[in-house]
Amino acid sequence: MKYTMEDLAFIKNNRAPQSKTTESMIGKICVVSGATSGVGLEAVKQLAKGGAHIVMVARNLKKAENVKILLHKDYSVSIDIVIADFSDLEQVREAANLIVKQYPVIDLLVNSAGLHSTKRHLTKDGNELVFQANHIAPFLLTMLLLDSIKKSEQGRIIQVNSEGHRFGGLNINDLTWDKRPYIGLRAYGASKTAQLMTVMYLAKELKETNVTINAMHPGGVRTNIGSNNGWLYRAWLHGVVWHFLKDPVISGDALYYLSASPK
């Protein structure tokens, strides 16, 4: 696999200064997926600090409850938990139905749930696991919540993307990797490419509405993505790569800026 300097632009981008805002989020209904660790956790911390009402979409109830306790203790904000495993699209539909019934108006949706795997797995829906968890499920959640987001005075959608889209491309003729050897980095890159293409498409579709959508690269930060992979991958990640990564708090600042800034 060969990379050009353009492909490696994320190294330069990782050193870019971070924009910040002190705008309040009091009274805003914010739905965040992947909120129990990494980028998503930093996002809900910042949103809670800004006074938002947070709806966490999480796979693990115990982890979500621990985050809820932490945020309520530190910021005394309202927090709800909705359980959904993104490897099961029916759970995503059920979660979306619960959310729109309770919250007819949604001000912000942050899709931050993410997955990386070194091995190929298919979901019960027949999709490659990483592609479904990173792209199909967030896209489905977005579309099911979109009408409620449009009811906000200024609805916003943020897709946590990655410079990893440069490493994969997208083979639409083999999304399940049936015809070629599975390469985890490329599968991850394919999911991020699909995310980015979808954001660009929706940005055009929503141009004449009160809803904006942005994709953001969180930077090279320490997260739990890929933590379910084998010991060799984990040893490489924590023994080598980890030392070059930043605290994910910087990604929380970026997400809050996109969530609250009037610009």
Catalytic residues: 182
Residues 56 and 134 sit within 8 Å (Cβ to Cβ):
no
CA 10 – CA 28 distance, rounded (Å): 32
Tokens in use for 208? 């004449």
CA 1 – CA 19 distance, rounded (Å): 34
Residue with tokens 């942050």: 110
Residue count of the chain, please give it: 263
Tokens in use for 245? 């990564």
Q: Is 211 helix (H, G, I), strand (E, B) or coil?
A: strand
In which element (H, E) is residue 72 found?
helix 61-75
Residue 117: name the closest of 193, 187, 38 by CA: 187
Tokens in use for 143? 């579309």
Residues 248 and 218 sit within 8 Å (Cβ to Cβ):
yes
DSSP 178: S
